[in-house]
């Protein structure tokens, strides 16, 4: 596995990221209240504004096969019936060629899923499990242009996959609330331990980043 980017927000700011995307009623900050590991984490907040976003993004060299993983905890989940909330994405720098991990309100039941967009046309593919608030989840997505494969893992278990034909290489990861389609009261998410790689990443080992740091020190 070749790591393309990683950030646990331990700088205390968003300096490792290329920039932020903030829509009406949105905000992205680094705080120290809800870290998954270490001291700091990203906080993404959107009020009840429809069609808004609050995310940070990082660009990297184009990859035909890319994986993105982060940990997310939902302080609130508010999604209007039969609409979506995009929370983690890989794309080519724009919204018309994108893979997003989503939460989807399927007739009153919130489900994990993925949204695949090619040429501006998006399709939703839903899993079966329901996320809840105040719980950390390891969320990982795969965007494989070479083999037209898309997949979502939750805590290391495949939740849903698709085989939509896609064309442009991934160059950007987005973390936070990538897109809030419709909401009544808004959403607040905490994100941490972000990694982008060219192969499956998986959940952190027990002990998380602290364990990986110790191993790296022993190797040198």
Residue 156 — pLDDT band, cuts 50, 70, 90? very high
> With pLDDT > 90 as the criterion, what percentage of the chain qualifies?
92
**Mean pLDDT within 21-29:** 98
Please tell me the distance from the alpha carbon of residue 105 to that of residue 147, in angstroms, as a whole number: 29
Measured in Å, how far apart are the chain's first and last C-alpha atoms? 20
User: Which stretch of 36-45, 122-131, 139-148, 208-217 has the lowest confidence by average pLDDT?
Assistant: 208-217
For the purposes of burial, counting CB atoms within 10 Å of the CB of 134, is it exposed (0-12), middle (13-18) or buried (19 or more)?
exposed
Q: Is the pTM of this model over 0.75?
A: yes
Please tell me the distance from the alpha carbon of residue 21 to that of residue 194, in angstroms, as a whole number: 17
So what's the architecture of 3-219 in CATH?
Sandwich (2.60)
Per the CB < 8 A criterion, the answer to whether 203 and 156 are in contact is yes
- For residue 11, the SS3 value is coil
Residue 205 has a pLDDT of: 87
Residue 207 — pLDDT band, cuts 50, 70, 90? low
Please tell me the distance from the alpha carbon of residue 68 to that of residue 144, in angstroms, as a whole number: 12
φ/ψ region of 114 (left if φ > 0, alpha if ψ in -120 to 50, else beta) reads beta
Q: Which helix (H) or strand (E) holds 72?
A: strand 65-76
**Mean pLDDT within 129-154:** 98
Q: Residue 31: how many CA atoms within 13 Å on its side-chain side?
A: 12
Please say if the pLDDT value at position 214 is more than 90: no
**Mean pLDDT within 94-118:** 97
Per the CB < 8 A criterion, the answer to whether 199 and 121 are in contact is no
């Amino acid at each position: 596995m070749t790591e393309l980017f990683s950030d646990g927000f331990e700088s205390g700011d968003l300096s490792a990221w290329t920039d932020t995307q903030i829509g009406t009623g949105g905000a992205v900050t680094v705080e120290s209240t809800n870290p998954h590991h270490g001291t700091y984490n990203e906080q993404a907040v959107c009020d009840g504004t429809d069609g808004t976003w609050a995310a940070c993004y990082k660009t990297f060299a184009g990859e035909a096969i890319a994986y993105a993983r982060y940990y997310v905890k939902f302080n609130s989940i508010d999604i209007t019936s039969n609409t979506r909330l995009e929370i983690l994405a890989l794309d080519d720098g724009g919204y018309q060629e994108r893979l997003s991990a989503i939460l989807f309100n399927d007739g009153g039941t919130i489900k994990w899923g993925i949204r695949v967009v090619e040429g501006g046309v998006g399709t939703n593919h839903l899993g079966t499990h329901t996320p809840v608030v105040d719980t950390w989840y390891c969320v990982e997505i795969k965007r494989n242009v070479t083999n037209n494969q898309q997949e979502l893992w939750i805590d290391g278990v495949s939740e849903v996959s698709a085989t939509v034909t896609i064309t442009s290489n991934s160059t950007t990861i987005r973390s936070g609330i990538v897109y809030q389609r419709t909401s009544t009261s808004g959403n607040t998410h905490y994100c941490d331990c972000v990694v982008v790689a060219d192969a499956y990443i998986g959940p952190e080992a027990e002990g998380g980043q602290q364990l990986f740091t110790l191993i790296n020190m022993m190797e040198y």
